Amino acid sequence: MSDTKRVRIGTAVVNISTMSPAMARQAVDLATKAVRNEFTEKEMAAAIKAGMKELHPADTWHCFVGRKFSCYVSYEDGKFIYFYLGQMGVVVFAS
């Protein structure tokens, strides 16, 4: 997946991703499920992190979710995605 071009995965608009398309789809699917289950932003982030850890247990996962935030993080190559579901921004990465 391009790390400069915005692309769509389902209803998500991906701003930046170094993940493989399959891993990016997993992150988006977990976030979509969290939104549907009406989690708070904190609960959403926890659910996405737990889901990624279950799918990729060898990695240490982190997640930010919200309408307004900034971040500057270090991440493993091929394990970062920043996307929007509607107005909700989501960052998922492994370090």
CB atoms closer than 10 angstroms to residue 11: 11
For the entire predicted model, the pTM comes to 0.89
Task: Quote the pLDDT of residue 60.
Answer: 98
Alpha helices in 37-64 (DSSP H): 41-55
Task: Quote the pLDDT of residue 11.
Answer: 84
Task: Quote the pLDDT of residue 2.
Answer: 44
Q: With contact defined as beta carbons under 8 Å apart, do 19 and 34 qualify?
A: no
Looking at domain 7-94, what is its CATH homologous superfamily?
Protein Inhibitor Of Neuronal Nitric Oxide Synthase; (3.30.740.10)
For 61, phi then psi, to 5°, come to -100, 150
Task: Quote the pLDDT of residue 4.
Answer: 53
Task: Give the distance, in angstroms, between the CA of residue 21 and the centroid of all CA atoms in the same chain.
Answer: 12
Task: Quote the pLDDT of residue 5.
Answer: 65
Q: With contact defined as beta carbons under 8 Å apart, do 89 and 45 qualify?
A: no
Q: Spell out, as residue ranges, where the chain has pLDDT lower than 50.
A: 1-3
Round the average pLDDT of the chain to a whole number and report it. Answer: 92
